[in-house]
Amino acid sequence: MPRISDTPRILVEDVHKHFKLRHTHSIKETFVAAMRRKQLTSEFQALDGVSFDIGEGEAVALMGFNGSGKSTMLKLISGVLRPDEGRILTRGRIAGLIEVGAGFHPDLSGRENVYLNAAILGMSKQETKEQFDSIVEFSEIEKFIDTEVKHYSSGMFLRLAFSVAIHTHVDILLIDEILSVGDEPFQKKCLARIRELHSQGKTLVVVSHDLNMVSDLCERGILLQDGKIRFDGPSKDAVERMRA
């Protein structure tokens, strides 16, 4: 679905993000390196002046090879990380499926985590209560819903996290490679649900190395290389550039 309105849902303006890389592993090494006046850390530019905007109802794939800055970009949009320079504005409720199980408390049961996660995503207790059966049914982990989530497999985490996210009233859904954790039938079910949300006008930003899947799901592709945008246009063309 193309953009529905001209007011962007996500605005990224000249964003820079760097990380400090440590070159020592222990206190002893740090001490020796400091005595020899060796550099203890160096700066790594993960994103280097990235700008784009994403309109309401767009589905955009962030593409690029390993280490190109895709996940960092998604974390910045979700607010998990802050840019060092530039700014990011978002409009509407965001649900980020970025790290499997992030936001889940290991000592709480699946049921308690559903309420906790839904509250984080802005749902009231009553709203969650009304959606609870449907959340659990979609996740297909009914049997384990009262088990502490520290005993869950990564696939079970994903099922519950994904199910909560798609049952909340979000405007923007951020998805990072997360579908690869689920088994094939669940992946298909999630994809069908994501397409449905897209057809309802939700904005999607997807990171995946499954180029066929993302170019099929998303009409636009932003190709990152060494923290810079190399291409922004039709996703099929972005894939061609990656494969060239």
Binding site for ligand ATP (CB under 6 A): 19, 21, 44, 46, 64, 66-72
**Residue 195 or 209 with smaller CB distance to ligand ATP:** 209
CB-CB contact of 206 with 59 (8 Å): yes
**Residue 170 or 178 with smaller CB distance to ligand ATP:** 178
**Residue 81 or 94 with smaller CB distance to ligand ATP:** 81
**Residue 102 or 119 with smaller CB distance to ligand ATP:** 102
**Residue 5 or 41 with smaller CB distance to ligand ATP:** 41
**Residue 187 or 225 with smaller CB distance to ligand ATP:** 225
CA 172 to CA 197: how far, in whole Å? 10
Q: Report, in Å, the least distance between residue 176 CB and ligand ATP.
A: 8
Q: Report, in Å, the least distance between residue 44 CB and ligand ATP.
A: 6
Q: Report, in Å, the least distance between residue 242 CB and ligand ATP.
A: 12
CB-CB contact of 120 with 128 (8 Å): no
Residue 64 backbone phi and psi in degrees, to 5? 150, 160
Q: Report, in Å, the least distance between residue 221 CB and ligand ATP.
A: 14
Q: Report, in Å, the least distance between residue 209 CB and ligand ATP.
A: 6
**Residue 57 or 96 with smaller CB distance to ligand ATP:** 96
Q: Report, in Å, the least distance between residue 39 CB and ligand ATP.
A: 16
Q: Report, in Å, the least distance between residue 183 CB and ligand ATP.
A: 21
DSSP letters spanning the chain: ---S-SSEEEEEEEEEEEEEEE---SHHHHHHHHHTT---EEEEEEEEEEEEEEETT-EEEEE-STTSSHHHHHHHHHTSS--SEEEEEE-S-EEEE-STTTT--TTSBHHHHHHHHHHHTT--HHHHHHHHHHHHHHHT-GGGTTSBGGG--HHHHHHHHHHHHHHS--SEEEEESGGGGS-HHHHHHHHHHHHHHHHTT-EEEEE-S-HHHHHHH-SEEEEEETTEEEEEEEHHHHHHHHH-
